[in-house]
Amino acid sequence: MLTVGDAAPEFELEDHRGETAALRERDGPVVVYFYPRADTPGCTTEACGFRDRHDEFADRGVEVLGISDDPVSDLAAFAAEYDLPFRLLSDPDGEVANAYDSYGEKKMFGRVFDGTFRNTYVVDEGRVVAAYEGVSPEGHAEEILTDLDAMDSAE
Residue of 32, 38, 43, 47 with catalytic role:
43
Q: What is d(CA 148, CA 111) in angstroms, rounded to the nearest whole number?
A: 37
Q: What is d(CA 55, CA 17) in angstroms, rounded to the nearest whole number?
A: 21
Strands 87-90 and 120-124, sheet pairing: unpaired
DSSP classification of residue 4: T
Q: What are phi and psi of 30, to 5 degrees?
A: -135, 130
Q: What is d(CA 60, CA 20) in angstroms, rounded to the nearest whole number?
A: 24
Q: Is 43 a catalytic residue?
A: yes
- Active-site residues, by number, are 43
